[in-house]
Structure 1
Amino acid sequence: MSAGHSFNAPATARDAVSDPARADVLRGLFPPAVEIALSNPRAPQPALWPDEASAIARAVPARAQEFAAGRAAARAALGALGHPPAAIPMAPDRAPVWPADVVGSISHTADLCAAALAPAAAFRAIGIDLEDHADLPADLLPMVCTLDERAWLASQPRDAAGILARLIFSAKECAYKCQYRMTETLFDFDTLEVTPDLDTGQFEATFTRQIGAFGAGARLAGRFVITQDLIACGMALGSTPGAARG
């Protein structure tokens, strides 16, 4: 796929050329009640709160910078929801610990960090994943994609297959983050099977086996966008069990 190619996607998912445009791209992946905030992992960040700093005291500088950018974006999204600034510690499983009445998710690439937050009264969970616009390495394909997903990729134009494989990876990461808040269960990539709709910018992630309350065949719905420099997926699970809003 050429660097300038993008698939059909929601009208708000236009190529990202600046932070405001990127924010619009990511907002288009979620219902209006979800707040999005961005930060740049390469830029200086505000000091971490003590409970946050202790979690990465031994981290390498690059990881510490990414972590600080994520927390800065998350606090900006908290403010947009009307919450005062608060620490967002890291749990033993490395997941962010959100205020009790908030659900959220953080993701980053080398030059962009995004936090998606929403009221827990409206959503059970949020998932966001950002990836650089690059082919999925061929040696990862058997680990990331099921046989059915690989058959679908084989039916796509050859120059698009690598990017679409990266899209499947991103959608699985996004759905994993969403379900984890409810199941606290780790699993491999083949536990979810992703079906993208390239015309609408939507995808479904189907469980291939029982995970917590999600039975085999349960589906989570999300949205995606592919721009010149970014692949992004978003998912919001409604407050009613079984509801998924992307």
Structure 2
Amino acid sequence: MRADPALVAALTREILPQGLGVAAGDPTYMPPHIDLAEARAVSGAVAHRAVEFHAGRATARAAMDVLGLPPQSILMGRDRAPVWPNGVTGSISHSKTACVAVVGPTAEWAGIGVDLEEATALDPLLIAEVCTKAEQRWLGQQPSDERGLMAKLIFSAKEAAYKAQYPVTGQLFGFEALELTIDRKTSRFKASFCAPQEAFAAGDILQGAYAHAAGLLVTGVAIRHSAQVDITSC
């Protein structure tokens, strides 16, 4: 069953600052008109991957339209990350039931990260890979029937934080490079850098938020050019 795009878009707007363009769609939707430049980027992909790619790009253009921006190609770099048009900063994410895109003007937003996941338990075999020792201790303090879902939340929040920092640093790194502090009362989180990453020092923090509804987890991080990062020890 596909998620309601209007609900996914509403959840995403709820967790991110105002002034961003947000749109959601069906990851199995193949647009009737395909951007030829984008099609070349996935010419060798399996069919379902190509459909997901084009659905995400169509959703991203819908997000651009929210801001009054003209439709433009969104190619794929060698690192497989979207190559956004000049002046646009954005992020795209897919789950099995929905896709979502968020964009903003580059003059204001240095990086945007959104991640969409099914609200299911993270595979227990992945917990040690995804979660630091401190995060695993936090999981142990959560109700036993919620630990798997909270582990998935940590995974998703790190994905969103990684996507947001990537346009700033251009750095590839693993889950161990960030440590999460989650406030379940406010549905907010902090992602702390455990080692220096170009513009970020060890202990710098990216602020984010999440929503859990309709069988989905949505996490988001947006970095303003003028933002002052918090400093804490990791």
**TM-score interval, normalised by the smaller of the two chains:** over 0.9
TM-score by structure 1 length?
0.90
Q: CA deviation at 1:222?
A: 0.4
> For residues 104-153 of structure 1, what are the alpha-carbon distances to aligned partners after superposition, in whole Å with 9 as ceiling and x for unaligned?
00001012010000111221111000000110000000000000000000
2:105 aligned with 1:125, yes or no?
no
> Which piece of structure 1 moves more, 197-206 or 29-38?
29-38
Amino acid of the structure 1 residue aligned with 2:110 = R
Q: Distance in 1 between matches of 2:23 and 2:77?
A: 22
Secondary structure at 2:76 match in 1: coil
> What are the residue-to-residue correspondences of 1:46-125 with 2, within 5 Å?
46-125=32-111
2:20 aligned with 1:34, yes or no?
yes
- Equivalent residue number for residue 151 of structure 2: 165
**Structure 1 residues without counterparts, runs of 5 or longer:** 1-15
- Equivalent residue number for residue 138 of structure 2: 152
Amino acid of the structure 2 residue aligned with 1:140 = L
> For residues 13-66 of structure 1, what are the alpha-carbon distances to aligned partners after superposition, in whole Å with 9 as ceiling and x for unaligned?
xxx973222221110011110111111012332333121111100001111011
- Equivalent residue number for residue 12 of structure 1: none
Q: How many residue pairs align between the two structures?
A: 229
Amino acid of the structure 1 residue aligned with 2:58 = A
Q: Distance in 1 between matches of 2:227 and 2:143?
A: 38
> For residues 55-102 of structure 1, what are the alpha-carbon distances to aligned partners after superposition, in whole Å with 9 as ceiling and x for unaligned?
100001111011011100011111111111111111111111112111
Secondary structure at 1:232 match in 2: strand
Q: Distance in 2 between matches of 1:243 and 1:115?
A: 24
Secondary structure at 2:226 match in 1: coil
Q: 1:217 aligns with which of 193, 196, 203?
A: 203
> Which piece of structure 1 moves more, 162-171 or 35-44?
35-44
Q: 1:142 aligns with which of 112, 116, 128?
A: 128
* Amino-acid identity (%): 42
2:215 aligned with 1:207, yes or no?
no
Amino acid of the structure 2 residue aligned with 1:42 = T
Q: CA deviation at 1:241?
A: 4.7
Q: Distance in 1 between matches of 2:141 and 2:35?
A: 49
Q: Distance in 2 between matches of 1:104 and 1:25?
A: 17
The answer to whether the Cα contact below 8 Å between 2:182 and 2:189 also exists between their aligned partners in 1 is yes
Q: 1:201 to 1:116 in 2, by over 3 A?
A: same
**Structure 2 residues without counterparts, runs of 5 or longer:** none
Q: 1:153 to 1:190 in 2, by over 3 A?
A: same
- Equivalent residue number for residue 182 of structure 2: 196
Q: Distance in 2 between matches of 1:109 and 1:45?
A: 18
The answer to whether the Cα contact below 8 Å between 2:8 and 2:100 also exists between their aligned partners in 1 is no
- RMSD of the alignment, in Å? 1.5
- Equivalent residue number for residue 8 of structure 1: none
TM-score by structure 2 length?
0.94
Secondary structure at 1:28 match in 2: helix
Q: Distance in 2 between matches of 1:170 and 1:70?
A: 18
The answer to whether the Cα contact below 8 Å between 2:21 and 2:103 also exists between their aligned partners in 1 is yes
Q: 1:24 to 1:241 in 2, by over 3 A?
A: closer
